[in-house]
Amino acid sequence: MTTDHRRAAAFTRYAWGVLAVNLGVILWGAFVRASGSGAGCGSHWPLCNGSIVPRDPGEATIIEFVHRLGSGLALVLVAGLWVWALRRFPRGAAARRWAWVALGLILLEAVVGAGLVLMGWVGEDASGARAASIAAHLAITYALVASLTFVAWYGSPEPRRGAAPAISWVITVALSLGMVLLGMSGAVTALGDTLFPPGSLAEGLVQDLSPGVHFLVRLRVFHPLLALAVAGGGVVWADARRREVTSIPARWRLTLLRGSLLVQVAAGAANVLLSAPVWLQLAHLLLAELVWILLIVCLAEGQARPEPEAPVLAA
């Protein structure tokens, strides 16, 4: 193995590691919301209850403070990935472009997260502004995960020539947009389950059909319907695509995507039947993120073509 190949492999491992850390931060952020700890640091940001390190913190403060530490670590790691990508890849390289996107998105995500705290859209707040901010925050998070996936994918020392036939941009946009909208509706649904938890499936159905019920409760019915439509479309596409491609790794990824979508639907059904316990909400979110990463890789594989030869900069 050449020195350059080892450096490229090291970059790829680091990129996937940064993605894994960000997934952990996303899950912990969901735990902050599900546990009602979003106001654990009060209305202060970046300080926590007016201090750099909170004194005599309660449980909610610890949960929120750990999330802030994790978010800061993720920001530092993404910045490091950006610097490494600039040093390693020439102008115009896909990994370099997506590193710029990832840096911009994580900074934007930090601004939105700070806004949630400073505006008081945390804790027991059930306003429409909070719901809209949560949905936007989720869309930014999905975009960040996609950009980090692209950095790791295109930064690999293995050539990315794409699986034939190429995937049309119409299909790419439709699948990506459907998955993002599904995630946004899931974030709003999870907020409703946290603020207005149903004691049972029957009680949840009564809540959904009650006149004058809060809009967060009424919106809960749309997420399962959208999930069936998006997951069903994804399974049909993955199955059809699997029969078209000749690359064995591409076939395996499509098979895994198809199976993951079905597992995700089952997890969502269990979430409804069990009245959305916190541990299952987190598992459901993790599955959603993994399905998203798989979809991004499968779509990237259908778009990738050999990049023009260019000298690789030193790490």
Per-domain residue ranges of the chain: 3-303
pLDDT in tens, the chain (315 residues): 567 778 888 999 999 999 999 999 999 999 998 888 888 888 888 888 888 888 878 898 999 999 999 999 999 999 999 999 999 999 989 999 999 999 999 999 999 988 888 888 888 888 889 899 999 999 999 999 999 999 999 998 776 666 778 888 999 999 999 999 999 999 999 888 888 887 666 666 666 667 777 888 878 888 999 999 999 999 999 999 999 998 888 999 999 999 999 999 999 999 888 888 889 999 999 999 999 999 999 998 887 554 444 444 444
Q: Check residue 21 and give its pLDDT.
A: 97
Convert the pLDDT of each residue in 101-117 to its tens digit.
Answer: 999 999 999 999 888 88
Buried residues in 70-91 as b, exposed as e (16+ CB within 10 A): bbeebbebbbebbebbeebbee
Radius of gyration of the chain (CA): 21
Q: Check residue 312 and give its pLDDT.
A: 45
Q: Max CA-CA distance within the chain?
A: 69
Residue 202 vs residues 188, 207, 278: alpha-carbon distances, Å: 21, 9, 19
Quote the pTM value. Answer: 0.90
For the chain, percent of residues with pLDDT exceeding 70: 90
Q: Check residue 313 and give its pLDDT.
A: 46
Q: Check residue 161 and give its pLDDT.
A: 65
Q: Check residue 305 and give its pLDDT.
A: 54
Q: How many CB atoms lie within 10 A of CB 33?
A: 21
**3-class SS of residue 193:** helix
Q: Check residue 204 and give its pLDDT.
A: 65
